[in-house]
Each structure stands twice: as structure tokens, then as C-alpha cells.
């Protein structure tokens, strides 16, 4: 889990390359769009190696703090020490991927990620169980398979990045060098986006732990609903990233009218998708829950079914606002409004999580009321971001200078 939390910081920070590449591309500063990717490489090296080194020192102490069984402690430490290298690979992959998303070529990102997936599954089997002459490594084999598979997207994206087509069109063949003005620009706009993601994930984990503390039935019901929500959320993340690059491009061109058209198109796309999910939740509510829990039993499992069904119905109310928040977040980040996005979303997330915690422990807040509080938070996020969007201040923002010369 610590790997995931730190990963959101890296993904969010390097993900701002999408918008920066878009703005440089729109301003016809093609070489700077490549230079900002190079600064992502340097940042990836720093953050990736820092995490690997810290994991060697901190992870064993952290695991021991929770009084894990000695055998479990030994295995999880070995697993984590290998898996920590995947952060380094993920950082470089995000730098490459952000460039391609920023220029509107997201297909190559999908194909490269698919290659990693199809490699990881069989390789994990071979290394965990020692099949076909491979060493039997157990849990360490699973970690090693993940790391090895992580090389594939990097190799694919790197090969395409330095191919003749992109060397000609985008001058990707220029020699990478550290350039502090660009490096600082990436940190200035990217770090708030990374911190936003990390703090929000921590806040949502805290809220989830509060829900789990009610009872095993509530924990199971929460897991069922969140599993469906997470699956349905991924396409919204893709739309958010794509629109960020397009907004950056048209703001870089100083074409505000086109930027607004793209923004509304993305919102409509998100609302249509959210409506489809809402209709699915409403029409197939019982079926979606019954996959994990049955109503035709007595005792605890029946309670899981009942709570999960109610919570999934409540989720229908906030999915439209969730899509609004996520897509507007991409739009505002495309303009460079990352500090406002960070402060607003982090404050609302932790205010809600804290209120639910105190309400549950001091005022016996019921599980469904706590879930309604989460729904109210998503409503607030959607409305706050819509107000910011309609104010149109973001249309006047620009992360780059009209002629951003680094030399």
C-alpha cells in the first residue's frame, strides 16, 4: 500500500508533463516539449532512487512496528525490497507516456501497458512455482515478475519516442540535459498535482478504514461497492488526462474558444458515461451485489447483501458529480491551476474523513450516514470545480512564456 501511495505522488507530478507538452506544442515550441520530458527523466531518477533507498531502510522498521509474525516479516520485507524497483521503472514510463498523451497519441500507451500485463501473468506463474526450468522463488518471484514486466512499457515507449518519425517531427533526438528553469517549472506545476493525489488517496484510505471499523459486514459491503466504483472510475481518469493535453495545446495557441469547446466536449462525454454507469447501478443493483454476496442466506452474509445494495444505490447519486470533478480537474490542470485543485480537493477530502471518524466514534454515526457524507463530499467537489470552471479564470492561465527560451 505504501508503494501505491508514493506512486500517486510520482504519477501526479510527472503527469503534469501532459499539459506542459500540450502548451509547448500549441505555442510551436516543439523542442521545449521534448526538453520538459527530459526533465521528467531526471526527476524520475531522483524520486525513483530515493524511494528504493528509503524502502531498504524504512520498510523493515515499518513492518516490525505492526508486530507482524517473524516469518511474515521476512517474506514481506524480501517482497517489498524487490518490488520497490518498480517505482523507478514506473517513473520513467510515466514521463514517456505523458509525452504521448500530450500529443494525442494515447494508443501507444495502451499497447505498451497491455504488453506488460500479458508478460506479468505467465512470468509470475513461472517464477513463483518454478516451472519449465525457472527457479522456484515464491513470493519473491511475484515481485521480480512485476519488475521485469515493467521494463516492457519502457522499452516500447522509448523505442517509439526515439524512432525516425518522432526524431523528425518532434526532434526527440536532442541530447537530454538538466535545465533548471524547466525542471523548476515541472516541480512548480507538477508537485501540487502529485501531492493532491497522494493526500487524497491517504484520506480515502482513512475513510475506508473508518468504514471497516464498523463491523466485518460493513467492511465487506464497502469493499464490494468500492470494487465496482474503482472499475468504473478508470475511464474517467483517461478522459481527464486526454483533455488536459488538449486544453494545454489550445491555450498554448492562445485559442480560448477552441479550449472551451474541447472542455465542454469532455464534460459531455463524461456525463454520458456517468449516466450509463448510473443506469447500470440502478437496473442491475441486485445482480452486481449478488456476485459477491447472496440474499438467500441468513446471518452475516445477508447483512452484507443489504448494506452493499443500499450503498450502491447511494453511489448512483454521486457518479455524475464524480465525473464532473475528475474531468474539470484535468481541464484546470491543463491550464496550470494545480495549486487551487490541490487545496480544494485535499481540504474537502480530509474534512469529510475527519467528520466521519469523529461522528462514528463520538456520536454513533450509522454506516449509511457515513456513506451519505462521502456522497456530499463528491457533490461539493463537483460544484466547487464547476464554479471555478465557469469563472473562466483558467482561460487566462499559462504555464509557459509565449517565447520560452531556456538557452
Q: Cβ(160)–Cβ(172) under 8 Å?
A: no
> pLDDT band at residue 282, thresholds of 50, 70 and 90?
very high
Q: What is the pLDDT of residue 138?
A: 87
> pLDDT band at residue 298, thresholds of 50, 70 and 90?
very low
Q: What average pLDDT score do residues 40-61 get?
A: 83
User: What's the total number of domains in the chain?
Assistant: 2
Does residue 164 sit in the same domain as residue 251?
Answer: no
Q: What is the DSSP letter of 138?
A: T
What is the pLDDT of the chain when averaged over all its residues? 90
Q: What is the pLDDT of residue 238?
A: 93
Predicted confidence (pLDDT) at residue 58 exceeds the cutoff of 50: yes
Does residue 242 sit in the same domain as residue 329?
Answer: yes
Q: Torsion angle of alpha carbons 63, 64, 70, 71, nearest 10°?
A: 10
Q: What is the pLDDT of residue 134?
A: 87
Does residue 360 sit in the same domain as residue 403?
Answer: yes
Q: What average pLDDT score do residues 15-40 get?
A: 96
Does residue 183 sit in the same domain as residue 225?
Answer: no
Q: Given the C-alpha cell 503527469, which residue does it identify?
A: 15
Q: What average pLDDT score do residues 71-83 get?
A: 77
From the list 58, 298, 103, the residue with the least C-alpha distance to 306 is: 298
Residue 18 resides in a domain: yes
Burial label, 169 (beta-carbon count in 10 A; 0-12, 13-18, 19+): exposed
Q: What is the DSSP letter of 106?
A: -
Domain boundary among 188, 223, 248: 188
Does residue 250 sit in the same domain as residue 121?
Answer: no
Q: What is the pLDDT of residue 406?
A: 47
Q: What is the pLDDT of residue 302?
A: 77
Residue 196 resides in a domain: no
Residue 118 resides in a domain: yes
Radius of gyration of the chain (CA): 23
258 Cβ contact list (under 8 Å, min separation 6): 250
Q: What average pLDDT score do residues 174-183 get?
A: 95
Q: What average pLDDT score do residues 348-372 get?
A: 94
Q: What is the pLDDT of residue 83?
A: 84
pTM, two decimals, is: 0.90
Here the cell at position 365 is: 454515526
Q: What is the pLDDT of residue 343?
A: 97
Predicted confidence (pLDDT) at residue 376 exceeds the cutoff of 50: yes
Does residue 350 sit in the same domain as residue 219?
Answer: yes
Does residue 239 sit in the same domain as residue 382?
Answer: yes
Whole-number Å distance between alpha carbons of 309 and 288: 9
Does residue 184 sit in the same domain as residue 221?
Answer: no
Does residue 130 sit in the same domain as residue 40?
Answer: yes
Ordered alpha helix ranges (H), 179-299? 180-212, 216-252, 256-283, 285-290
Residue 218 resides in a domain: yes
> pLDDT band at residue 51, thresholds of 50, 70 and 90?
confident
Query: What is the distance in angstroms between the CA of the first residue and the CA of the last residue of the chain?
Result: 42
Residue 195 resides in a domain: no
Does residue 18 sit in the same domain as residue 154?
Answer: yes
Domain boundary among 188, 223, 238: 188
Does residue 287 sit in the same domain as residue 242?
Answer: yes
Does residue 50 sit in the same domain as residue 130?
Answer: yes
Q: Cβ(211)–Cβ(222) under 8 Å?
A: yes
Residue 256 resides in a domain: yes
Query: What residue numbers bound the domain in which 303 lies?
Result: 213-407
Whole-number Å distance between alpha carbons of 265 and 272: 11
> Could you tell me the sign of the dihedral formed by the alpha carbons of 390, 402, 160, 148, in that order?
negative
Residue 108 resides in a domain: yes
Whole-number Å distance between alpha carbons of 145 and 143: 5
Residue 198 resides in a domain: no
E strand intervals along 111-170? none
Domain boundary among 188, 222, 237: 188
Q: What average pLDDT score do residues 326-354 get?
A: 97
> pLDDT band at residue 47, thresholds of 50, 70 and 90?
confident
Predicted confidence (pLDDT) at residue 198 exceeds the cutoff of 90: yes
Here the cell at position 104 is: 494525442
Question: Between residues 58 and 143, which one has the greater pLDDT?
Answer: 143
Amino acid at each position: 500500500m505504501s508503494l501505491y501511495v508514493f506512486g500517486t505522488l510520482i504519477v501526479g507530478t510527472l503527469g503534469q508533463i501532459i499539459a506542459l507538452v500540450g502548451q509547448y506544442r500549441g505555442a510551436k515550441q516543439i523542442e521545449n516539449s521534448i526538453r520538459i520530458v527530459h526533465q521528467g527523466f531526471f526527476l524520475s531518477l531522483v524520486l525513483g532512487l530515493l524511494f528504493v533507498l528509503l524502502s531498504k531502510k524504512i520498510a523493515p522498521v515499518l513492518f516490525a512496528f505492526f508486530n507482524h509474525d517473524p516469518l511474515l516479516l521476512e517474506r514481506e520485507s524480501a517482497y517489498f525490497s524487490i518490488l520497490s524497483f518498480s517505482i523507478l521503472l514506473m517513473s520513467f514510463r510515466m514521463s514517456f507516456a505523458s509525452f504521448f498523451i500530450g500529443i494525442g497519441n494515447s494508443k501507444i500507451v495502451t499497447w505498451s501497458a497491455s504488453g506488460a500485463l500479458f508478460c506479468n501473468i505467465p512470468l509470475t506463474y513461472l517464477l513463483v512455482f518454478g516451472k519449465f526450468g525457472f527457479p522456484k522463488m515464491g513470493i519473491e518471484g511475484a515481485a521480480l515478475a512485476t519488475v521485469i514486466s515493467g521494463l516492457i512499457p519502457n522499452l516500447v515507449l522509448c523505442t517509439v519516442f526515439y524512432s525516425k518519425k518522432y526524431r523528425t517531427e518532434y526532434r526527440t533526438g536532442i541530447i537530454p540535459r538538466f535545465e533548471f528553469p524547466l525542471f523548476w517549472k515541472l516541480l512548480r506545476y507538477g508537485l501540487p498535482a502529485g501531492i493532491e493525489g497522494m493526500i487524497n488517496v491517504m484520506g480515502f484510505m482513512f475513510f475506508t478504514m473508518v468504514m471497516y471499523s464498523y463491523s466485518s459486514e460493513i467492511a465487506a459491503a464497502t469493499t464490494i461497492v468500492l470494487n465496482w466504483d474503482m472499475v468504473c472510475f478508470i475511464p474517467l481518469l483517461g478522459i481527464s488526462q486526454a483533455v488536459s493535453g488538449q486544453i494545454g495545446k489550445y491555450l498554448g495557441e492562445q485559442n480560448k474558444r477552441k479550449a472551451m469547446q474541447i472542455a465542454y466536449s469532455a464534460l459531455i462525454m463524461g456525463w454520458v458515461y456517468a449516466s450509463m454507469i448510473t443506469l447500470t447501478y440502478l437496473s442491475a443493483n441486485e445482480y452486481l451485489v449478488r456476485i459477491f454476496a447472496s440474499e438467500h442466506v441468513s446471518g452475516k452474509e445477508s447483512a452484507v447483501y443489504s448494506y452493499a445494495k443500499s450503498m450502491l444505490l447511494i453511489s448512483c447519486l454521486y457518479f455524475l458529480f464524480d465525473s464532473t470533478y475528475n474531468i474539470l480537474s484535468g481541464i484546470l490542470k491543463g491550464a496550470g491551476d494545480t495549486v487551487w485543485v490541490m487545496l480544494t480537493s485535499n481540504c474537502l477530502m480530509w474534512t469529510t474523513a475527519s467528520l466521519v471518524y469523529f461522528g462514528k466514534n463520538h456520536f454513533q454515526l450509522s454506516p449509511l450516514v457515513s456513506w451519505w457524507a462521502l456522497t456530499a463530499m463528491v457533490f461539493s467537489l463537483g460544484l466547487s470545480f464547476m464554479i471555478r470552471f465557469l469563472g473562466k479564470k483558467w482561460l487566462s492561465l499559462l504555464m509557459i512564456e509565449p517565447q520560452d527560451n531556456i538557452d
